[in-house]
Structure 1
């Protein structure tokens, strides 16, 4: 994914890099994949994960609920990546994908030149940088008057959210129910 220098600067060097409040116990830490988002805790005594586990999971995001200034559903994807990597799953075996529709489309629109990037924008940018495919429902985009040029570089338009889910299911992805 290629980003313009201006967009990269907005996304990466914005003052006050992380403002969302953490109310979790200190056992929850972010990283190692998405460094500033997606805190999770180690789980002692858990059922061991198979050494050859492959995790192809699609996350459906339509909600605009934020917690501490970050959309909680996008943060769930970061947590999925981080907790499995921390548990020893090879990063190449962790393959989340995101299908966005409804009100959550707002998080995929590039900020204007005078707008500050939100924490959710920075999280979406980090997910794209971590090679997480993000598909926007084309029907949602049409209803909101959005074109491909309005979107963060790397976000893909699908004919619909239903189409994106069908394609991902065909490709072996399971739907995360959370």
Structure 2
């Protein structure tokens, strides 16, 4: 019995280093890096292929605003209905807001593109964009951007395109006070409400479908 225990113990001691070494290889930082690089390469190839297929039936605001073609679609929304869309827009990256399009505005453009691609006339789509929180920085006018960054607001053309296609922008006055943003600093045509909260309850009460455009929902 003692000999048997000794053999088992010796085998266990011998195998443990091998087992540990194998586990360390599998979980080594180098292997994790290699796996992430491989995954990134696969994703980049996939995204490049998808980007080449994307089309823009209404607004072109970069690759991520595009629509991918789908075969065999047999669930089609009625083109006769009125589509009332309420976007609660709070997403913003303040440090890069002067450098590139706000991804939240791009997502709103994508939603409109998807509706049009589904056969809904733009005249039947009624977007309302409630802007509060840090997203207010992305809808300031070119004069403010020129003063602060020596360049136009990179979102200005997209905001104009959205407005031309019926989008109504409403800024939250409470958030404007908190962030020290004046009405005259906003992009021309943006409305101001006392608070985003009453805008949300007002339009939801009218049957608008709510979309959350935020860091959590992106």
Matching residue of 1:104: 135
For 1:28, which of 17, 41, 54 is the aligned residue?
Answer: 54
Shift of 1:79: 1.0
Q: Which runs of 5+ in 1 are unaligned?
A: 1-21
Does 157-166 or 141-150 show the bigger shift? 141-150
For 2:69, which of 42, 58, 64 is the aligned residue?
Answer: 42
Q: Which runs of 5+ in 2 are unaligned?
A: 1-46
Does 93-102 or 114-123 show the bigger shift? 114-123
Does 46-55 or 110-119 show the bigger shift? 110-119
Larger RCO of the pair (alpha carbons < 8 Å, separation 6+) = 1
In structure 2, how many angstroms separate the alpha carbons of the residues matched to 1:145 and 1:64? 16
- Larger relative helix fraction: 2
> CA, structure 1 residues 167+150, in 2 after alignment: closer, same or farther (shift >3 Å)?
same
Contact 1:108–1:151 (8 Å) recurs in 2? yes
Count of aligned pairs: 156
For 1:143, which of 178, 186, 200 is the aligned residue?
Answer: 178
In structure 2, how many angstroms separate the alpha carbons of the residues matched to 1:170 and 1:156? 19
Matching residue of 2:6: none
CA offsets 1:133-174 (integer angstroms, 9 cap, x no match) = 011111011112222211111101111111110111122211
Work out whether 1:81 is the aligned partner of 2:112.
Answer: yes
Contact 2:127–2:166 (8 Å) recurs in 1? no
Shift of 1:36: 4.0
In structure 1, how many angstroms separate the alpha carbons of the residues matched to 2:87 and 2:113? 15
1:98-137 equivalences in 2 (<5 Å) = 98-112=129-143, 113=146, 115-137=150-172
Of the two, which has the highest radius of gyration? 2
For 1:152, which of 157, 175, 187 is the aligned residue?
Answer: 187
> CA, structure 1 residues 58+121, in 2 after alignment: closer, same or farther (shift >3 Å)?
same
CA-based RMSD: 2.4
